[in-house]
Amino acid sequence: MTSESISDAVFPKLPVNFFTIVLNGQPFIKYHINIFKQLSYKWHWHIVEGVASLTQDTSWCLDSGGQIIDRIHDYGLSNDGTTEYLDELAQLYPEHITIYRQPTGVFWNRKLEMVNAPLKNIHEECLLWQVDVDELWTLEQLNIAQQLFVNNPKKTAAFYWCWYFVGEKLIISTRNCYAQNPQQEWLRTWKLKPGAFWISHEPPVLVAPLENGEYQNLADVNPFVHTETEQAGLVFQHFAYVTTEQLQFKEQYYGYKKAVSQWGELQKQTNFPLLLRAYFGWVSDDAQVDRVDIFSVKPIAQKDNNTWKFIQSSVTDKQIYNIQYLQQSTAENLVTDRQINIEILRAELDRVYQNLSDAQSKIASMESTKFWKLRQQWFKLKNLLKLTSNVVD
């Protein structure tokens, strides 16, 4: 057995297929590749670009005044440089990146069509990981999360909390509220086998076919819940409302009335915490906003002289410990399982030997009886009579 095969046996490989649907993804689209290319496992990034028609999944936008106007796209694709950037990525990393687009001027039917597009190119068991363009994960988080699934092969999905940014240095500081609904947010990772497909994008529902012809929602089977992923340090950063361009798009496409001006007013505030609904008219609950420094959150994306830069946090001792602990736990579990299997096989072999010995003893005992001896004499006589008959013939 080679060292590579031994490594595969102790640390089973579980590839990850990331997918992103995007329209005008600057500046955050540029963050991800520098993280992905450092990953310790096999990965592929599926990027689905273009305008999604406001039907079914996002038809609710129509009720609030959402519409697709020419200003937000260029013949169905991005008009902020994202298209050109993605073309460059595909040329640089052809083995790791696949771009999905509609013909020029054609919109995707809906977002559900977009998220299902990559599945035809996934032919092995893997993790399927939704990474929205403004959702930023650290390298350590992606490695730890993948190891969690390796270490717990029966897990089928994972929910996460996030730091939800509503300004460059402002975050939602409460949970069980807007953007922090644990019933669906943030479900981002699934254990996928070929044949699974999406039946909904908002909320995300990935189903797998069963033998009886029915389908099973993978997130309902055996997911990692928020407390488990948070304990592993898997709280990502979501830069949802940090640029004027983002707010302009949400106001036009989703129909969030006065989104730009209301967000602008929020950025002027200095006394925190405060209620988000006082500034976001589409929010109705008690979600609160506070400064990032209050929670010791260091934003990965930071603006410097009107230029966005990305800070890759260094690996802390705790993060190193988490990875090593998970890998050690995996190895120990596998070794223990193998030892148990060996003991079971030994016990089964002893049982077979004992049965064989008992059978041999029974045969020896039978051969010593008068009946057995008479039986043997009868066969000899029968053979002799048969031989005599042949001679007469």
Residue 205 sits at φ, ψ, to 5 deg, of -130, 110
What pLDDT is stored for residue 59 in this prediction? 86
CB 128 within 8 A of CB 17: yes
Domain boundaries, the chain: 3-314, 334-392
For residue 232, which of 124, 304, 159, 287 has the smallest C-alpha distance?
159
| Banded model confidence at residue 374, pLDDT cuts 50, 70, 90 | confident
What pLDDT is stored for residue 342 in this prediction? 57
Which long-range contacts does 255-259 make (Cβ < 8 Å, 24+ apart)?
Answer: 255/61, 255/62, 255/63, 255/64, 255/65, 255/66, 255/67, 256/64, 256/280, 256/281, 256/282, 257/64, 257/65, 257/281, 257/282
Average pLDDT over residues 235-248: 98
What pLDDT is stored for residue 316 in this prediction? 39
Digit-coded pLDDT (tens) for 137-177: 999 999 999 999 999 999 999 999 999 999 999 999 999 99
Architecture of domain 3-314: Alpha-Beta Complex (3.90)
Question: What pTM was estimated for this model as a whole?
Answer: 0.79
What's the half-sphere exposure (Cβ side, CA atoms, 13 Å) at 21? 17
CB 230 within 8 A of CB 148: no
Average pLDDT over residues 38-66: 93
Residue 183 tokens, joined? 């019933």
